[in-house]
Structure 1
Amino acid sequence: MKGLVSFSIVGSAICMFFLVMLNFFLTPTLDWSIYPCIALLLWPLSMYFVYRQNLTQFAFFTSFVFIILLTVINLRESPEVLWVLYALYPLVFWPIFTFFGKKAYTMTAAVIGATTTIIYYALLNLAFSPSYPWVIAIIFAIGWWPLSLYHSKHKNFFAFSIQASIWIGGFVIGMNWAFSPDVIWAIYPIFVVVWWPISMHFFSAKRHMRTL
């Protein structure tokens, strides 16, 4: 394994040198080689941390490399729009939760993680595009984390179907109200989703009758 780490370092260095020379001779006015060179750093880094069996440090260093790469691309190519801020949170979130290990799978971690995610993207929404409440989609997506974790631990799938249906209904109503209030279309997906808890109820009742 140690030989593979050395090979990845040499191979990455050769590839980076080739790309820099290619950039210099073919397109000297366009510095594009910096992007794949930064990404190529992940090859020896990943091999090294796999060799050391330290996934936490791998997560930290990989996130650090991606943050640098995306920040450089953002500031060089489109400095008028700080889109890197949207990708910054998951890149920071990953190593932090990797650091906590098994504690990251607890209900407390799910609630804290979901809450901080919603707050972060809600602030971005208010700062950059307050007239388009796209954070509704983030809230809907991240809300499944504590909701599904809670019911999977309690093994109450019927209650999960009810609360999940309410969650989906709230989401489509919010999207309908925020983006197309003149057309009431939310009723159609709600009608489809409501069959989920109804079918769960009758399936459970039928199985209960068979056991009598």
Structure 2
Amino acid sequence: MKQEIVFATIGSIMTIVFLMIVNLLTSPEHLWFLYPSHILVLWPVSLYFLSEKQYKFGVLFVGLIIILFLSLNNYFNSPGHPWVLYAVYPIILLVVLTFLGKSSIKLSVAIIGSLAAILYYSFLNYYLSPGYPWAVYPAYAVLWWPTLLYFISSKRYFGLSIFGTFLTVVFLIVVSAVSTPNVIWEVYPIFLILWWPLSMYFYGSNKRNSRNKIIRQI
């Protein structure tokens, strides 16, 4: 494995230097060599941490490399808007969950992570782009994390359909109110999502009736 790491390191360095020279000679106004360099750096780094079986630190280092790459891309291409901040939280969350190990599947971790995500993106929404409350979209997505973890672990599938439908209906109403308040389009997807708990209810009801018939026959 050491030979593979040395080969990957030398190959990555040579390729990055070559791409950088070509970039500076042909189109110095746009530093495109940073894009493949990001992948090339991850090659020997991933091999090293895999060979040492240090998976957690490997995820940490890869996360830092990705944040650095995105930060450089943000700085050189669009310094007027720090969009890199939108991608920082999921990367940090992945690193934290990796270090938590088996504890990462706890409901308390899911609740804390979801609330932190909602607060984080609400803060970015308010200070970076207050014109439209887009934070409702990541909030809706991240709330499914503790929701699925709780209902599936407790095997309350009908409860999942009820709460998931409620969450989706609220989300659609909010999106409609802030995006197109004069058009009541949310009733169409709401009608479709209502079939989820209804189908779960009738499936459970038919299953119970069949079981009762079998018991009576016995």
Give the alignment's TM-score, normalised by structure 1.
0.95
After TM superposition, give the deviation of residue 132 of structure 1 in Å. Answer: 0.5
Task: Indicate conservation of the 8 Å contact 1:121/1:138, yes or no.
Answer: yes
- Do the aligned partners of residues 197 and 31 (structure 1) sit closer, same or farther apart at CA in structure 2, a change above 3 Å counting? closer
The equivalent residue for 1:46 is 46
Partners of 1:30 and 1:115 in 2: how far apart?
39
- Do the aligned partners of residues 79 and 28 (structure 1) sit closer, same or farther apart at CA in structure 2, a change above 3 Å counting? closer
1:120 partnered with 2:120: yes
The amino acid across from 2:77 in the alignment is E
The amino acid across from 1:95 in the alignment is V
After TM superposition, give the deviation of residue 92 of structure 1 in Å. Answer: 1.6
After TM superposition, give the deviation of residue 86 of structure 1 in Å. Answer: 0.7
Deviations 1:132-186 (CA, angstroms, capped at 9, x unpaired): 1111111110010000000111001011111111011011001011101111111
Deviations 1:70-103 (CA, angstroms, capped at 9, x unpaired): 1111111111111111111112221111111111
1:145 partnered with 2:145: yes
Q: Which secondary structure state, in structure 1, belongs to the residue aligned with residue 132 of structure 2? A: coil
Partners of 1:4 and 1:160 in 2: how far apart?
48
1:86 partnered with 2:86: yes
Alignment of 1:97-116 (within 5 A): 97-116=97-116
Q: Which secondary structure state, in structure 2, belongs to the residue aligned with residue 182 of structure 1? A: coil
The amino acid across from 2:160 in the alignment is F
Partners of 1:186 and 1:139 in 2: how far apart?
18
- Do the aligned partners of residues 197 and 34 (structure 1) sit closer, same or farther apart at CA in structure 2, a change above 3 Å counting? closer
Task: Indicate conservation of the 8 Å contact 1:39/1:66, yes or no.
Answer: no
After TM superposition, give the deviation of residue 207 of structure 1 in Å. Answer: 1.1
The amino acid across from 1:148 in the alignment is L
After TM superposition, give the deviation of residue 35 of structure 1 in Å. Answer: 3.7
For structure 2, which runs of at least 5 residues remain unmatched after alignment? 213-218
Q: Which secondary structure state, in structure 2, belongs to the residue aligned with residue 41 of structure 1? A: helix
Partners of 1:186 and 1:69 in 2: how far apart?
39
The equivalent residue for 2:216 is none
Task: Indicate conservation of the 8 Å contact 1:161/1:196, yes or no.
Answer: yes
After TM superposition, give the deviation of residue 39 of structure 1 in Å. Answer: 3.3
Deviations 1:111-142 (CA, angstroms, capped at 9, x unpaired): 00000000000000111222311111111100
Task: Indicate conservation of the 8 Å contact 1:39/1:65, yes or no.
Answer: no
The amino acid across from 2:117 in the alignment is T
- Do the aligned partners of residues 30 and 179 (structure 1) sit closer, same or farther apart at CA in structure 2, a change above 3 Å counting? closer
After TM superposition, give the deviation of residue 28 of structure 1 in Å. Answer: 4.2
Partners of 2:29 and 2:181 in 1: how far apart?
49
